[in-house]
C-alpha cells in the first residue's frame, strides 16, 4: 500500500475547494477544454443557444475513476479565464483533485464545438492551437505527485499538442518506474492534430513503454495497418496489458503475468442504443483501469470497461455521471509487482 504524507500543497490562486491532505492513487494529465454544444439538437450553423461543458480524454477518465471510488487527480494547464474556472469547478464537484492544475495568463483554455448527430454523425471542431495546455512540459511534472501516485494515465492526444507536450509524455513514460508508478496509455489518435506519417511511429514508440495500452482496432488499422487484435499484439508483444477494442463487437486483452505465462481474453461488447459515441473510449479505459487496480480477473476487467462505455454511449455528454461505484478504493498489494 502507498504511504500518504500529511503535507499540504498550496492551492492555486482563485481556487477555493476544500483542502485535501491525501495524495492521489491515480494521476491523469493532458488537455481539458471548454465544450460548446447546441441547447437543441440542431446543426451548429442553425443553433441559437449553446451550453458550456468541459471535455478532455484524461479528465474524463479521472472523473469516472473518482465516481468509482478512487483517489484521483487531474494535472494540466488552463487559462486564467472563465472557461478555465469552469474546468476546475466541474472536476472539483466530481471529486477529482485539481491541486496540480496550473492557471496561466499567457494562453487561453482550449475550446471545441460539438455538433450533435442530426443524421450524418456527430462532428467536433477544435480550437486548441496555442492553448494553455500546449505550454505543458517536462518541468511541470516536477511539481506533480508522481512519486506517490501508483498509476499515471495519459493519452496519445497530449504528445500531438506541442513539442514540449511530447517531451513531457516521453519523460513520464521513461521515468515512471523510478517513481514506483505504472503508466496506462490510451492511443487516442486524432487525425486533426497530426498526420499518420508522424503519429504512427511516435505513438508506437510511446505505447511500447507503457504498462497498459488501450487502442481501438480501427486506430491500429489507420496507424499501423493492423487487421486483427493479434496483429496489434505482434507490434506490442512486451506490454504487460494490451487491450484492443473492436468498436461495438468486442475487446481483447493480452496479458503477461509475473510467472512468465501469457493469456488472451476476449469479451463481447454490450448491446446498447447509441446516443453519441464521444467519451465512450474514456469510459472504457476508466472501467478497465478501476478493475485492474482492484485486482479483478481479465474477463471482469473487460466487462467493467464495456459496462462503463455502454453507460457513456447513452448520453450526449463527454462525461456522463451517475454510473456509481463498483469497488472500494483498494490497490491490490501484489499488482504493482506483477506489472513492474
Residue 282 among the catalytic residues: yes
Q: Which residues of 83-96 are buried (b: 16+ CB within 10 A; e: fewer)?
A: bbbbbbebbbebeb
Q: What are phi and psi of 34, to 5 degrees?
A: -80, 140
**Contact in structure between 101 and 88 (CB atoms under 8 Å):** yes
The pairing of strands 250-256 and 262-268 is antiparallel
The string of DSSP letters for 253-284 reads EEEE-TTS-EEEEEEEPPP---S--TTHHHHH
Say how far apart CA 318 and CA 60 lie, in whole Å: 7
Of the candidates 25, 140, 186, 282, the residue annotated as catalytic is 282
Compute how many other C-beta atoms are within 10 angstroms of the C-beta atom of residue 247. 12
Spatial strand order in the sheet of 72-79: 101-104, 72-79, 26-29, 151-155, 182-186, 212-216, 241-246, 250-256, 262-268
Provide the annotated active-site residues.
282
Amino acid at each position: 500500500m502507498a504511504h500518504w504524507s500529511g503535507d499540504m500543497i498550496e492551492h492555486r490562486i482563485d481556487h477555493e475547494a476544500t483542502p485535501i491532505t491525501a495524495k492521489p492513487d491515480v494521476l491523469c494529465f493532458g488537455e481539458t477544454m471548454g465544450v460548446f454544444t447546441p441547447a437543441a439538437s440542431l446543426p451548429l450553423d442553425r443553433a441559437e443557444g449553446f451550453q458550456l461543458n468541459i471535455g478532455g480524454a484524461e479528465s474524463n477518465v479521472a472523473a469516472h475513476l473518482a465516481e468509482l471510488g478512487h483517489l484521483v487527480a487531474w494535472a494540466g494547464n488552463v487559462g486564467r479565464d472563465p472557461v478555465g474556472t469552469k474546468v476546475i469547478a466541474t472536476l472539483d464537484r466530481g471529486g477529482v483533485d485539481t491541486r496540480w492544475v496550473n492557471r496561466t495568463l499567457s494562453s487561453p483554455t482550449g475550446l471545441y464545438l460539438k455538433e450533435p448527430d442530426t443524421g450524418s454523425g456527430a462532428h467536433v471542431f477544435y480550437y486548441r492551437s496555442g492553448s494553455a495546455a500546449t505550454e505543458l512540459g517536462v518541468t511541470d511534472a516536477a511539481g506533480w505527485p508522481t512519486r506517490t501516485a501508483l498509476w499515471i494515465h495519459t493519452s496519445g492526444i497530449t504528445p500531438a499538442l506541442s513539442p514540449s507536450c511530447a517531451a513531457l509524455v516521453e519523460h513520464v513514460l521513461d521515468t515512471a518506474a523510478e517513481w514506483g508508478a505504472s503508466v496506462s496509455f490510451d492511443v487516442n489518435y486524432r487525425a486533426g492534430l497530426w498526420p499518420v506519417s508522424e503519429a504512427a511511429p511516435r505513438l508506437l514508440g510511446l505505447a511500447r513503454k507503457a504498462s497498459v495500452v488501450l487502442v481501438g482496432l480501427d486506430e491500429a488499422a489507420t496507424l499501423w495497418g493492423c487487421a486483427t487484435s493479434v496483429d496489434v499484439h505482434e507490434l506490442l508483444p512486451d506490454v504487460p496489458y494490451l487491450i484492443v477494442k473492436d468498436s461495438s463487437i468486442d475487446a481483447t486483452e493480452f496479458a503477461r503475468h509475473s510467472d512468465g505465462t501469457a493469456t488472451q481474453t476476449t469479451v463481447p461488447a454490450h448491446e446498447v442504443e447509441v446516443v453519441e459515441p464521444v467519451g465512450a473510449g474514456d469510459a472504457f479505459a476508466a472501467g478497465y483501469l478501476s478493475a485492474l487496480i482492484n485486482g479483478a480477473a481479465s474477463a471482469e476487467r473487460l466487462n467493467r470497461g464495456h459496462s462503463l462505455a455502454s453507460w457513456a454511449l447513452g448520453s450526449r455528454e463527454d462525461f456522463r455521471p451517475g454510473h456509481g461505484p463498483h469497488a472500494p478504493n483498494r490497490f491490490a498489494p501484489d499488482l504493482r509487482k506483477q506489472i513492474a
